[in-house]
């Protein structure tokens, strides 16, 4: 797997801390249920919640559009639902990357059907198309639509998740 560096560990660390600062300002002392979209978010989720000063309950969900393909599908598969009741609660939806925004939009719609007090979405990386599809309240890095990102929990066919930095996949073969 040939890659080129996009964002270093230090750049990621600084961006995660900045995102947490913005989230802390938004919520103050309010309790938040942080919901991570698995699998890719787990590294970002872990680092982000370490910086949150608000009371935080952790939960996870899983929705898939990719499987073994790099082309996004618009039909969702919710394979893991949240375990916490979310009605009248502040929800912080966390994802690692918003490519086209389909996963994020699917989960936002799902959560809103349960009538939370508020829903805020944060992604570490976003692409232009995602902002047309889903509501993204906080975004760390922005990359071009054609950039395929791996590392820091994000994979390509289950490879590259363990890279401690974010890289562009150079060869999709």
* Catalytic site positions: 99
Distance, in Å, from the CA atom of 42 to the CA atom of 3, rounded to the nearest integer, reads 21
Distance, in Å, from the CA atom of 30 to the CA atom of 26, rounded to the nearest integer, reads 9
Q: Which residue has the tokens 């066919």?
A: 157
């Amino acid at each position: 797997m040939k890659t080129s560096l996009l964002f270093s560990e230090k750049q990621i660390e600084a961006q995660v801390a900045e995102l947490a600062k913005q989230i802390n300002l938004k919520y103050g002392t309010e309790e938040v249920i942080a919901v991570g979209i698995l699998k890719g978010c787990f590294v970002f989720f872990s680092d982000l919640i370490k910086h949150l000063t608000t009371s935080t309950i952790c939960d996870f969900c899983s929705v898939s559009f990719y499987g073994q393909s790099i082309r996004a599908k618009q039909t969702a598969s919710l394979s893991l639902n949240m375990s916490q009741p979310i009605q009248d609660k502040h929800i912080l939806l966390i994802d690692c990357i918003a490519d086209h925004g389909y996963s994020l939009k699917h989960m936002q719609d799902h959560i809103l059907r349960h009538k939370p007090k508020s829903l805020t979405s944060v992604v570490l990386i976003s692409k232009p198309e995602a902002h047309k599809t889903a509501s993204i309240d906080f975004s760390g890095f922005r990359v071009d639509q054609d950039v395929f990102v791996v590392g820091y929990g994000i994979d390509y066919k289950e490879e590259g998740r363990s890279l401690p930095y974010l890289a562009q996949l150079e060869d999709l073969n």
